[in-house]
Structure 1
């Protein structure tokens, strides 16, 4: 798999975390299956991947509404995160994205823009030994409107002091690409786990 970057130059790189930097979506899905089993709540894998970038609390609320359930949002989120933290040793990075981070670090500032919680994002980046490469992290709870709204990306650009049109976004989901486009930013699509299996 090779990433094709649009023509630059760019003054900042903004990265989604799960599924873009960290190959963490399969691990997150196992966490969902683990906690939702107690509620007999079905959550198809392709549906989960289609929601990439949506904060955990919003996913739980969506599942509650879909199935007429009353799963406690904070408890489900906490248990899912505990599962994720307990299995971090299984986490790997996505090589092509890590390569861009290594090559470009120090040339332009980096930000992570994620629908994940700050604790999950920080743990993932620390596990991959790249946490110190990012000037700022924009995570769930930092913004009012999540992807596909442009607010998270615009917040990252503002924190870095870079104009939106000078930012390049790395994203693995259509929702994330839509948010980047709405923010006036160029983007590069990172193939998801299912696509990488087909390509490989």
Structure 2
């Protein structure tokens, strides 16, 4: 029997591999300014992880603003545009690149982000990561947002790995829920907006403060 307990790892992007919170919030705010809608930064932060369309939907419902599909699509386009324009302030979290390089060639690697395809492709080019993932799934390729497991299920299918042999890296409670509903193991990373208790309440398999805890992560993945 192989010592490699798992066959694939699937990473979230925002808040897990990359420090994008500030830019995401700014991009949402600029998009909302286009329709003169005001909301607190903290309201947006607590929705990070469910995708742009669902975030705008929740904001507009909360603000009692009438909307339709075309308005939501307009806001998403603006948010993606502003995110790319503001990309200079986005960095990879410490330990991200080192962990990816340690895993490359040892397991299949996927990226499953509720951000949009144009933004994710731009980010992967920016950080020279376009060739490291065997599968990249974004909000554009799915119907159901996290915490629905669809995005992870689709990624695993593209990787040709059964869910039970996949490990998901997530920072949001929505992502952890999605991973567990997909019957995958989950490593929760405390680099997002959620505190330790909020994360643990969603029952990840292990919790790490950051991806710099490489040995703990590798021990779990490879059953060392």
User: Secondary structure, in 3 states, of the residue corresponding to 2:152?
Assistant: helix
Alignment partner, residue 94 of structure 1 = 93
- The answer to whether the 8 A contact 1:115-1:140 is kept is yes
Alignment partner, residue 40 of structure 2 = 44
Where in structure 2 are the equivalents of 1:60-139 lying within 5 Å? Answer: 60-70=56-66, 72-139=71-138
CA distance in 2, matches of 1:43, 1:102: 39
- The answer to whether the 8 A contact 1:88-1:127 is kept is no
Out of 11, 15, 18, the position equivalent to 1:15 is 11
Relative to 1, partners in 2 of residues 1:188 and 1:60: Cα closer, same or farther, differing over 3 Å?
same
Please report how far the alpha carbon of residue 183 of structure 1 lies from its aligned counterpart in structure 2 after TM superposition. Answer: 0.8
CA distance in 2, matches of 1:121, 1:87: 14
| 1:41-68 alpha-carbon deviations (Å, 9 max, x no partner) | 3333333232222121122122222212
Of stretches 44-53 and 163-172 in structure 1, the one that deviates more from structure 2 is 44-53
Of stretches 61-70 and 163-172 in structure 1, the one that deviates more from structure 2 is 61-70
RMSD between superposed Cα atoms in Å: 2.2
- The answer to whether the 8 A contact 2:10-2:110 is kept is yes
CA distance in 1, matches of 2:193, 2:171: 11
1:53 aligns to 2:52 (yes or no): no
Alignment partner, residue 20 of structure 2 = 24
Aligned residues: 192
User: Secondary structure, in 3 states, of the residue corresponding to 1:107?
Assistant: coil
Alignment partner, residue 170 of structure 2 = 171
Which consecutive unaligned segments of at least 5 residues does structure 1 have?
1-6
Runs of 4+ in 1 over 4 A off after TM superposition: 193-196
CA distance in 2, matches of 1:40, 1:160: 43
- The answer to whether the 8 A contact 1:50-1:173 is kept is no
| 1:59-79 alpha-carbon deviations (Å, 9 max, x no partner) | 212222221214622221122
Please report how far the alpha carbon of residue 39 of structure 1 lies from its aligned counterpart in structure 2 after TM superposition. Answer: 3.8
- The answer to whether the 8 A contact 2:9-2:169 is kept is yes
CA distance in 1, matches of 2:41, 2:91: 19
CA distance in 1, matches of 2:79, 2:158: 30
* Higher RCO structure, 1 or 2 (CA under 8 Å, sep 6+): 1
- The answer to whether the 8 A contact 1:173-1:192 is kept is no
CA distance in 1, matches of 2:73, 2:154: 25
Please report how far the alpha carbon of residue 82 of structure 1 lies from its aligned counterpart in structure 2 after TM superposition. Answer: 1.2
Relative to 1, partners in 2 of residues 1:142 and 1:133: Cα closer, same or farther, differing over 3 Å?
same
